[in-house]
Amino acid sequence: MQNIKAVKAICTAHQIPFYIDACRFAENAYFIKLREDGYQNASIEDIAKEMFSYADGATMSAKKDAFANIGGFLSLHNEELARECRNLLIITEGFPTYGGLAGRDLEAIAIGLKEVMQEPYLQYRIRSIEYLSEKLHAAGVPVMRPAGGHAIYIDSKAFLPHIPVSQYPGQALVCELYLAGGIRSVEIGSLMFGKYDESGELIPAAMELVRLAIPRRVYTQSHIDYVAEVVIEVFQRRQSIRGLQITEEAPLLRHFTARLQPVI
């Protein structure tokens, strides 16, 4: 919360609107309750209300902390700006009560925003992430610590030190986890964020990570244990994993559609 207040002060001093990316507001509110002085006895709803009170608005992907299958929303304190956005929505998507989303999905968002603030749910979810992090760390797997609220991040550069960044160790690990156990993950490294210099050489990303984002209200304890077992099994034979090279890529956002093949 102190960080939010500090950012708000900077934005106010420079007359910059302050918007919150609210896709994981409840998980962050729970961490504030656990870790920040003065909030141990506050409810998640009260913490969330204080968070948003400092912002001019918020954007949210409802597929995260709103429990919805699809969609999202923009919320604003400025009524005039909100009216302009609604008018643009009507022109481009449809009326606010149905533009872009089915009524069923709008109802799911409304219910999900309430359910996500239930502390027993947040406690179970965040403890599951923490448990997976502890299990992988104990087996020597290089994971980012402390654990966050929605995902485990593996340091693929440390996991696969024999694969150079130019051969995308993160994507190589993503593919191996899927082949070994059907585990879907995502590379957040040089395939996603790498650039080319004027000579065509790869400028690597700052970090080479693999994210294992955990679905909400889907995985049981045995599922989490299965994920850990597959990751550890792959880690134990990591020297056999080969790097990848791009055979086809789009000029923008290549990580969505690029084709790769193992380096021979």
User: What residues are paired with 74 via a beta bridge?
Assistant: 59
Helix (H) or strand (E) segment spanning residue 59: strand 57-61
Together in a domain, 258 and 127: yes
How far apart are the two ends of the chain, measured CA to CA in Å?
50
Strand order across the beta sheet in which 72-76 lies: 19-21, 57-61, 72-76
Together in a domain, 189 and 251: yes
Together in a domain, 126 and 81: no
Together in a domain, 134 and 256: yes
Give 118-149 pLDDT, tens digit per residue. 999 999 999 999 999 999 999 999 999 999 99
Backbone angles phi, psi at 252, to 5 degrees: -130, 145
Together in a domain, 136 and 258: yes
Together in a domain, 159 and 200: yes
Together in a domain, 123 and 31: no
Range of the domain at 6: 2-115
Domain boundary among 57, 84, 115: 115
Assign 245 to helix, strand or coil: strand
Backbone angles phi, psi at 241, to 5 degrees: -80, 135
Q: What is the pLDDT of residue 87?
A: 93
Which residues, 6+ apart, have CB-to-CB distance to 8 below 8 Å? 18, 54, 55
57 within 8 A of 17, measured Cβ to Cβ: yes
Backbone angles phi, psi at 174, to 5 degrees: -55, -45
pLDDT band at 168 (very low <50, low <70, confident <90, very high): very high
What DSSP string describes 128-161? HHHHHHHHHHHTT--B-SS--SSEEEEEHHHHST
| Pair of tokens at residue 97 | 């009560």
Together in a domain, 156 and 186: yes
pLDDT of 163 above 80: yes
Q: Could you tell me what percent of the chain has a pLDDT over 70?
A: 100
Number of domains in the chain: 2
Rounded to two decimals, the pTM is 0.87
User: What residues are paired with 75 via a beta bridge?
Assistant: 58
The Cα–Cα gap between 165 and 154 comes to: 15
Q: What is the pLDDT of residue 200?
A: 87
State the CATH number of the domain containing residue 40. Answer: 3.40.640.10
Q: What is the pLDDT of residue 76?
A: 96
Together in a domain, 166 and 77: no
How much is the average pLDDT of 65-76?
A: 92
Assign 237 to helix, strand or coil: coil
Together in a domain, 70 and 200: no
The Cα–Cα gap between 98 and 1 comes to: 34
The Cα–Cα gap between 69 and 64 comes to: 9
Together in a domain, 110 and 21: yes
Domain boundary among 115, 149, 183: 115
Q: What is the pLDDT of residue 252?
A: 87
The Cα–Cα gap between 257 and 248 comes to: 8
Domain boundary among 89, 115, 141: 115
Q: What is the pLDDT of residue 264?
A: 85
Give 176-200 pLDDT, tens digit per residue. 999 999 999 999 999 999 999 999 8
Together in a domain, 91 and 123: no
